[in-house]
């Protein structure tokens, strides 16, 4: 038992040292310290190795052996195909928005942020929305990486919660999906990853970090529970998934804090809406979350009292009649954290990309109209 106690004190980081590595360490230590030779020494070495194995099975060494966590690479390989890019344009094409989304059902339902798809000039969804699917390999060539696309329509959105549900049209399914997990299982200190399209970075970029804090009723919005993380987020990450070490979505990346009131820069402060809030909102819209709840004990979630806007499917231009933003909720005693929607600086190619894709789509539409005119004249 003394050797087991000593093994407990071995300084290990969670799931970073393999059983094989610990065995090698013991062998090196024994070679350096043991003066015995022959069968006696071999028996001593085998006894230590067996003790390491027993300690692993009994949970004395949390960082060894029973490593259920996926690596960032494994998470990316399994989850990124269900992550999409979203671009929205006004009728004139003079302005637009871009962000990230997650396919949550095989029929093409996509979860994202409301501020990605709502035109701030009108308070209504952009009349032209396009969703881009991830290529098998991201090359850095936008013409190649953004070759698979389809039109999208807004099914519902909530500006207080900053959530929107889209329907991908024009592409055959079924589509890969990301599972909405129970965010109550996640705790401060847990490792997380994000996938998105950040400014100054590449498309379908992976960033890593940890959960730093939690807030309820974030920015005085009832029912808006969020994680604070150190995961690197920038403009273009909005609406993308925050994933746990099982590759399941526990949050929707929503906001960042970059500048303090006195003008000092802020770093490593990002916010993600908890998945349980998103699941409750989806249920409120009448959207089945059977797949999302497969691994969850029905969580207790504070329900937002603000109405979301439910739109008839298939209507992308002027959907519905009244899409005014809901009234501002009354303040709550929870802390108010000053944050910007992800984010506001504009040195990046996102604006250029929006204009570029807008022109490409406009040219394609003009070509189709011209071809239809020629065929009609025959």
95 part of the active site: no
121 part of the active site: no
Distance CA 234, CA 216 (A): 23
Choose the catalytic residue: 102, 238, 270, 275.
238
- The answer for residues whose C-beta is within 8 angstroms of residue 52's C-beta and 6 or more apart is 7, 19, 22, 23, 26, 61, 64
Choose the catalytic residue: 80, 102, 115, 275.
115
| Backbone torsions φ then ψ of 190, nearest 5 degrees | -70, 145
Residue 12 buriedness (CB in 10 A; 0-12 / 13-18 / 19+): middle
**CA angle, residues 121, 342, 243, in degrees to nearest 5:** 130
Residue 155 buriedness (CB in 10 A; 0-12 / 13-18 / 19+): buried
The answer to whether 132 touches 142, Cβ cutoff 8 Å, is no
What does the block give as tokens for 220? Answer: 């005085």
DSSP 366: H
272 part of the active site: no
What does the block give as tokens for 308? Answer: 């979301």
- Which run of H or of E encompasses 275? helix 275-284
Choose the catalytic residue: 80, 149, 162, 270.
162
DSSP lists the bridge partners of residue 166 as 110, 154
What residues act catalytically? Answer: 115, 162, 238
């Amino acid at each position: 038992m003394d050797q087991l106690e000593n093994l407990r004190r071995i300084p290990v980081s969670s799931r970073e040292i393999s059983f094989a590595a610990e065995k090698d360490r013991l062998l090196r230590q024994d070679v350096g310290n043991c003066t015995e030779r022959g069968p006696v020494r071999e028996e001593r070495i085998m006894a230590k190795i067996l003790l390491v194995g027993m300690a692993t099975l009994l949970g004395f060494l949390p960082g060894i052996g029973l490593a259920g966590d996926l690596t960032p690479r494994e998470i990316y390989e399994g989850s990124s195909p269900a992550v999409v890019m979203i671009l929205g344009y006004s009728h004139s094409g003079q302005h637009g928005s871009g962000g990230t989304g997650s396919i949550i059902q095989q029929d093409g339902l996509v979860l994202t942020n409301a501020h990605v798809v709502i035109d701030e000039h009108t308070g209504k969804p952009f009349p032209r929305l396009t969703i881009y699917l991830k290529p098998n390999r991201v090359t850095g060539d936008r013409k190649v990486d953004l070759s698979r696309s389809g039109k999208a329509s807004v099914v519902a959105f909530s500006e207080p919660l900053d959530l929107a549900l889209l329907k991908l049209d024009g592409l055959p399914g079924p589509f890969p999906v990301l599972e909405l997990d129970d965010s109550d299982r996640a705790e401060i200190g847990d490792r997380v990853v994000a996938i998105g399209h950040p400014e100054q970075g590449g498309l379908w970029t992976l960033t890593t970090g940890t959960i730093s804090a939690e807030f309820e009723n974030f920015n005085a919005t009832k029912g808006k529970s969020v994680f604070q993380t150190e995961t690197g987020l920038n403009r273009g990450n909005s609406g993308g998934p925050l994933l746990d070490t099982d590759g399941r979505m526990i949050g929707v990346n929503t906001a960042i804090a970059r500048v303090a009131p006195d003008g000092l820069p802020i770093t490593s402060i990002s916010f993600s809406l908890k998945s349980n809030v998103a699941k409750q909102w989806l249920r409120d819209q009448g959207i089945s979350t059977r797949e999302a709840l497969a691994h969850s004990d029905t969580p207790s979630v504070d329900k937002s009292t603000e109405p979301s806007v439910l739109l008839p499917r298939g209507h992308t231009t002027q959907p519905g009649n009244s899409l005014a933003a809901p009234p501002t909720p009354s303040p709550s005693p929870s802390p108010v954290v000053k944050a910007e929607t992800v984010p506001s600086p504009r040195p990046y190619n996102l604006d250029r990309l929006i204009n570029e894709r807008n022109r490409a789509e406009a040219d394609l539409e003009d070509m189709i109209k011209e071809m239809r005119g020629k065929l009609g004249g025959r």
